[in-house]
Structure 1
Amino acid sequence: MKYTLNAAVTVGAVVAALLAPTHAYAGARAATGQPAVVTTDNETPILYDDEAGGNASGDDPAIWVHPADSRKSLVIVTAKEGGLRVYDRGSRELQSLPATEAPRVDTAVGRYNNVDIAYGVSLAGRKVDVAVVSDRYNDQIRFFVIDSAGTAARTPLTEVTAADQSFLFNPDREAVDEEHTAYGLSIWQPRAGETYAVVTQEGATTIATARIVETGGKLGYTDIQRRTMPGTFPLPDGTTWVPCEEPGVLPQFEGVTVDQASGVLYAAQEDVGLWRLQLPLGSGGQPKLLDRVKDFGIHDVFDSETEECQPVDPNAKGYGGNLLSADAEGVDIYYGPGSTGYVLVSSQGDDTFAVYERQGANHALGSFQVKGVDGVDDINGSDGLAVTNRPVGDHRQGLLVTHDEPETGPDVDTDRDATNFSYVSWGSIARAMSLTVDTRAGNDPRFR
């Protein structure tokens, strides 16, 4: 395996990123109106994070689009220690996969954090689509082949992870057990026959890429590259801002997505904001901070008794934007014609979703919130999200799937930690925010 650790982003580059009067930041500042409101009446069954519920805590979804019949498309989600769940276009559960031990000598039962789809991967002489999953407890990637029959398959997912894959961020099992391990994940397919996973590290500012390869009739990875992103930020008032975290924890990234046409990585640093970075790592050019969370630059201190961060000055204004309330979480792209389309980010702190232009300087366009109707609850505290411009069953104008926590409503046991996922029509979002609808397959390069 090849390991390369690129130098951290320089202080000078961070200063330039923070203080330059970019159009993207001006756009984010200007997008100050109230969030648009869209509705949903479609949500998955409740997951409970306790022993009776299999310690299932929903986190991140991915949408697999069937190549010929959109009614057979799948939604695949992570449930952490509860493994994976597979749903149909109407949010009915088709498969529940437990988080099993990884195929390795020094194995542990997995914790599946994030998931994305790789299309057309070579395996055993054929092309297959694969659900790619980050496993926190084993600091590695796991692979699950998707049955081409989709919803008609008896078992839509089957694991094909090769044995004894390298740890992504740690030197040995002892270090892995400290849990600064594989966290957020996205797939990058720059050209036919070449697939990479982009993975973030829990409790750190490191982002890694790994090339997915066939190994002994199964799937593994090689050529691990890493880059350390900023964890401290110089401010215009001459001070240096360090986002407040628990002791020993740095301001981590989770939500990531890659523009398959341009190779641009969009990465949400939870307590900082939204970055863009050109892939491959180390290819030149500095990362750019596109938008900041609202309390960016406000100095906090960690209270060990309450385990919460408190502002040093309750009246401090900071240098934040107007759209993202920490944590900035899930990120994905709605592809439009050419370089157009939208970057979506879940703003977990205020239960909204920020929308930015895909092209150019990524101008901010505003935000929306999702209200439940017909017995479905509002979306709260969204973590991961996935969006596609392709039709998915009755969602003829595209589909957004988003995590919801806590799940609420009359059928929820309020004494248990409840999560699930909601389906939102892209057409509803587009109407509410005057956005484009374009369902042509070629807009997302993976479907060409």
Structure 2
Amino acid sequence: MRRHHLGHPLTLALVTALAALAGAAPAHAGELPVVTPVSETPTLFGDEEGGNADADDPAIWRNAAQPGRSLVVATAKEGGLRVYDLESRQVQSLAPPQPPGAEDAPGRFNNVDLLSGLRLSTGRADVAVVSDRGNDRLRIYRIDPARTGGPLTDITDPAAPPVFSADQEEINEQRTAYGLATWQDRVTGRTYALVSRRNETRLALLELRPTATGTVGYQKVRTLDLPSSFRLPDGSQWTPCGEPDERPQVEGMVVDPANGVLYAAQEDIGIWRLRADLTGTPKLMDKVKEYGVPGTYDEETEECTPGADPGYGGSRLSADVEGLTLFQESGGDGYLFASSQGDDTFALYDRETDEGNEYEGGFRVGAANRLLDGSEECDGATVLNAPLGSRYPRGLLVVQDGHDTPAVTDGNGEEREATGFKFVDLGALMDRVDP
């Protein structure tokens, strides 16, 4: 989500030379290494002519039998789901279900994550789990690359309840299922989805439950509310500026399967680390630069005018902090990738929690050429450290681009809202940024 209450995101000149990372010390965005994409998906346009599609969140499904025929499943908000092959070509499009009795409230998908080998009544299957923001539900899609008509099939239990809302009237207010991460408990073998609530600080843990008919439903286990107000070192209380009835929400989330740790990006605050079962006490592992900055909300412009920076924020993330994804290596090594949407960069943190997720550097996704641009205002990202055929022998990073270029105008000469996804060779990236 692109909400810059304290001003517009910074505009940075493209970097033409790579700079070496200075150990764990944070670098200015202009000094970070730059990697360029290999390809990009067809542009999605956020207007009626383009189906009101808006690229948001991707996930990579690995075809174990034929890695070179793996897929990327991605959300497009009112445009539903898109499925792409490794050459970034669209192979399937699925519309989101329309909310009942709400003609002015279209269906909308927000985030997606995957589960491998989910036990169904018909056998095990890989599935994509999606937050259905328009209906405040989860939707589950079976993945079958050999299926005629496209690899995804909706197997959601028709009786699946709303995640947060009490009734349809509350669903229509759109404080609904938003961010999403899936998780399998290695001790019990049970599978879960963690879901955040739009414009609220609440997280919910849902257990996925197969039915006897081959569909999948879910049951809420527990919820947890992250803080919306914070005590600063000078003793004052700070609440991030925003619309009066909105609290600082979470969207980007990922679970480390090795230890059951959930990382949750509270957009205007920073990154939390907590147990994926939502027990225990969350820890704020890093803050956005704007943390602690007061702001005055203007109802006419729907923007906040920032006050003086008291200097309590972090130095690596610029609000909003968005897509989180995990680069996994054997033995528990690897990195947490975080999208710093406000300055078009990505931050890397050590995966080891014992050392407090030390900052390890960062990078930018820059333009490859005039027609293949980089990533700006990135909402969602996903990484897979595994061979994916000859095209990506060391894996793949997919990032959302919130401002796809070159610009396209409509019949009135106005620039159309254009988004998409960029495919980055993971091997080339890690050669440049791996500390």
Do Structure 1 and Structure 2 share a fold, with TM-score over 0.5?
Answer: yes
Query: 1:68 is aligned with what amino acid?
Result: A
SS for the counterpart of 1:40 is: coil
Alignment-derived partner of residue 429 in structure 2: 429
Contact 2:122 2:214 in 1 (8 A): no
Contact 2:374 2:422 in 1 (8 A): no
1:329 paired residue among 305, 315, 322? 322
Following superposition, the deviation at residue 434 of structure 1 comes to 2.6
1:216-275 superposed Cα distances (whole Å, 9 cap, x missing partner): 321110133110011111001111110111120000000000001100000000000011
Alignment-derived partner of residue 320 in structure 1: 313
Query: Equivalent residues in 2 for 1:284-295 (5 A)?
Result: 284=280, 286-295=281-290
SS for the counterpart of 2:419 is: strand
Query: Equivalent residues in 2 for 1:41-440 (5 A)?
Result: 41-101=38-98, 110-149=107-146, 154-191=149-186, 193-215=189-211, 216-282=213-279, 284=280, 286-313=281-308, 316-359=309-352, 360=354, 361-374=356-369, 375-393=371-389, 394-409=391-406, 415-435=415-435
Following superposition, the deviation at residue 176 of structure 1 comes to 1.2
Contact 2:133 2:174 in 1 (8 A): yes
1:54-102 superposed Cα distances (whole Å, 9 cap, x missing partner): 1111100000011121111000100011110000001011011111237
- In 1, Cα distance between the equivalents of 2:409 and 2:36? 20
TM-score where L is the length of structure 1: 0.86
Query: 1:74 is aligned with what amino acid?
Result: L
Aligned residues: 402
- In 1, Cα distance between the equivalents of 2:377 and 2:148? 33
Which blocks of at least 5 consecutive residues in structure 2 are unaligned?
Answer: 1-21
1:190-217 superposed Cα distances (whole Å, 9 cap, x missing partner): 1374210010000000011101111232
SS for the counterpart of 2:330 is: coil
Query: 1:353 is aligned with what amino acid?
Result: F
1:284-314 superposed Cα distances (whole Å, 9 cap, x missing partner): 3x1111110011111111111221111133x
Query: 2:429 is aligned with what amino acid?
Result: I
Normalized per residue, the structure richer in helix is 1
SS for the counterpart of 2:431 is: helix
TM-score where L is the length of structure 2: 0.88
- In 2, Cα distance between the equivalents of 1:378 and 1:369? 8
Query: 1:110 is aligned with what amino acid?
Result: G
Instruction: Please list every run of at least 4 consecutive aligned residues from structure 1 whose deviation after the TM superposition is greater than 4 angstroms.
Output: 104-109, 410-414
Following superposition, the deviation at residue 109 of structure 1 comes to 5.1
Following superposition, the deviation at residue 125 of structure 1 comes to 2.6
1:337-387 superposed Cα distances (whole Å, 9 cap, x missing partner): 211100000010000001000013110012100112142012100001111
RMSD across aligned positions (CA): 2.1
SS for the counterpart of 2:130 is: strand
SS for the counterpart of 1:129 is: strand
Contact 1:398 1:427 in 2 (8 A): yes
- In 2, Cα distance between the equivalents of 1:200 and 1:382? 19
Q: 1:427 to 1:411 in 2, by over 3 A?
A: farther
Alignment-derived partner of residue 13 in structure 2: none
Q: 1:153 to 1:425 in 2, by over 3 A?
A: farther
- In 1, Cα distance between the equivalents of 2:66 and 2:24? 42
Contact 2:24 2:361 in 1 (8 A): no
1:174-197 superposed Cα distances (whole Å, 9 cap, x missing partner): 111111110000100113742100
- In 2, Cα distance between the equivalents of 1:298 and 1:321? 12
